[in-house]
């Protein structure tokens, strides 16, 4: 077994549907069964933002959104695959979507749900993704306060 640690990067979007009685967050269920946000790897030459947007569009069919590029959130975790330790960083951007319509990419996505913060916290599988949602919610709450 190799002790070599491989660095891996992915990029994603936290889709937000603004609603008068509170924001809704889009969670997707990956084929492996876990719940989180749309994400994936950059293709050659893609920037982080372009990769995140492409993954959102491919996995959910969502095309109408406003990207909030001024802020990003990251999760870091380690796992073992094929006897190799992978250290992964996923950088998420925020996108306010215009419609709740979702068309899942069947080869990668099993299911989806638009959820309030409280429901989403309970549905997200991994702690690191839960922490991202907590930070996103704090950011959105403070942004709303400063705009009021």
pLDDT in tens, 74-121: 999 998 888 899 999 999 999 999 999 999 998 889 999 999 999 999
| Res 148: pLDDT | 43
Q: How many C-beta atoms lie closer than 10 Å to residue 36's C-beta? A: 23
pLDDT of 34-54, one tens digit each? Answer: 999 999 999 999 999 999 999
26 three-class SS: strand
Whole-angstrom distance, CA of residue 43 vs CA of residue 137: 29
Q: What angle do CA 143, 147, 148 make, to 5 degrees?
A: 120
CATH of domain 5-147: 3.90.79.10
Is the whole model's pTM more than 0.85, yes or no? yes
């Amino acid at each position: 077994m190799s002790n070599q640690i491989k660095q891996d990067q992915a990029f994603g979007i936290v889709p937000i549907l603004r609603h008068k009685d509170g924001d809704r967050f889009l969670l997707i269920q990956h084929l492996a069964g876990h719940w989180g946000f749309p994400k994936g790897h950059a293709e050659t030459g893609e920037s982080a933002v372009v990769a995140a947007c492409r993954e959102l569009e491919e996995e959910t069919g969502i095309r109408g959104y406003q990207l909030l590029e001024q802020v990003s959130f990251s999760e870091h975790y380690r796992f073992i695959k094929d006897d190799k330790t992978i250290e992964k960083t996923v950088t998420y951007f925020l996108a306010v979507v215009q419609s709740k319509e979702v068309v899942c990419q069947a080869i990668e996505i099993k299911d989806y749900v638009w959820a309030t913060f409280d429901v989403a916290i309970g549905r997200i599988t991994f702690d690191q993704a839960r922490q991202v949602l907590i930070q996103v919610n704090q950011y959105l709450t403070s942004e709303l306060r400063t705009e009021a």
